[in-house]
Copies of this chain bind each other. A is one copy, B any other.
Amino acid sequence: MTAERNGRPDVPQRILDQATRLFARHGFVGASLRDIARAVGIRKPSLLYHFASKDELRRSVLEQMLTHWNEAVPRILRAATSGPEQFDAIGAETLRFFNDDPDRAPLLLRELLDRPEEIAPLVALRVQPWAKIVCDYIRKGQEQGRVHPDVDPEAYVAQVINLVLCGFATHASLRNVLTAPTSDGEATDRLLREMLRVAKASLFLPVPAEPPTRRPAASARA
Residues of A bordering B, CB below 8 Å: 26-27, 29-30, 106, 109-110, 112-114, 116-117, 119-121, 123-124, 127-128, 131, 139, 142-145, 148-152, 154-159, 161-163, 165-167, 169-170, 172-179, 190-191, 193-195, 197-203, 205-206, 208-210, 212-221
In whole Å, how far is A179's beta carbon from the nearest beta carbon of chain B? 4
- Closest B residue to A210 by beta carbon equals B214
Considering the chains assembled together, what is the distance between the CA atoms of A8 and B190 in angstroms?
A: 50
In whole Å, how far is A102's beta carbon from the nearest beta carbon of chain B? 13
Q: Which residues of chain B are within 8 angstroms of A199 by Cβ–Cβ distance?
A: 198, 202
Considering the chains assembled together, what is the distance between the CA atoms of A157 and B178 in angstroms?
A: 8
Say yes or no: B216 contacts A176, CB within 8 Å.
no
User: What 8 A-B pairs are tightest by C-beta distance, nearest first?
Assistant: A116-B173, A166-B166, A155-B194, A162-B166, A145-B216, A201-B202, A202-B202, A198-B202
Interface of chain A: mostly helix, strand, loop or mixed: helix
Q: Which residues of chain B are within 8 angstroms of A30 by Cβ–Cβ distance?
A: 27, 29, 114
Decide: A198 near B156, CB < 8 A? Known: A114-B27, A173-B112: yes
Decide: A155 near B190, CB < 8 A? Known: A128-B178, A162-B162, A221-B149: yes
Decide: A197 near B205, CB < 8 A? Known: A113-B109, A155-B190, A178-B157: no
Q: Which residues of chain B are within 8 angstroms of A143 by Cβ–Cβ distance?
A: 216-218
Considering the chains assembled together, what is the distance between the CA atoms of A194 and B161 in angstroms?
A: 13
Q: Which residues of chain B are within 8 angstroms of A113 by Cβ–Cβ distance?
A: 27, 106, 109-110, 169-170, 173
Out of B145, B163, B205, B220, which one reaches A142, CB within 8 Å? B220
Q: What are some 15 contacts across the A-B interface (CB < 8 A)?
A: A112-B170, A112-B174, A119-B173, A120-B173, A120-B174, A143-B217, A145-B214, A152-B190, A154-B178, A158-B178, A159-B198, A163-B163, A165-B166, A198-B202, A199-B202
